[in-house]
Amino acid sequence: MPIIQNIYIDQGTTYSQGFTINNANNEPYVVAGASAQGMIRKNYASANAISFAITLTDGLVTIGLDANTSSLIVAGRYLYDVKMTDVLGKVTRVAEGIATITPAVTHT
């Protein structure tokens, strides 16, 4: 079952968020050989998506956006999720929720 957590991203800033991931025994998930991807979309059917940068360490998946990428996202409410693929090819959704992009006042 994925972690359901709404996230808030300040437009035009560097963003990073970590999610703890455990195995069925509630121990830190070993990520050797695993990969992950995560995206933000306006709605489920939207053809346009922004991909997160993803870092995996044992027991933790971290998503991120650089300041340039977050500045290109129009302020508003979006959906996001993060999926991980283990070494055997099993795909699991590890996090999902609403991503709110808050508008920036300062523009450079």
Question: To 5 degrees, how large is the angle CA 20–CA 24–CA 29?
Answer: 40
pLDDT in tens, 61-106: 999 999 999 999 999 999 999 999 999 999 999 999 999 999 988 8
Say if 23 falls within a structural domain: yes
Model-wide pTM > 0.85: yes
Question: Which range of residues forms the domain containing residue 87?
Answer: 3-102
Q: Where are the beta strands (DSSP E) in 1-108?
A: 3-4, 7-10, 15-20, 35-41, 50-51, 53-57, 60-65, 76-85, 91-102
- Between CA 58 and CA 86 the distance in angstroms is 12
pLDDT in tens, 24-38: 888 999 999 999 999
- Looking at residue 78, which CATH number applies to its domain? 2.60.40.10
Say if 62 falls within a structural domain: yes
Say if 52 falls within a structural domain: yes
Tally of domains within the chain: 1
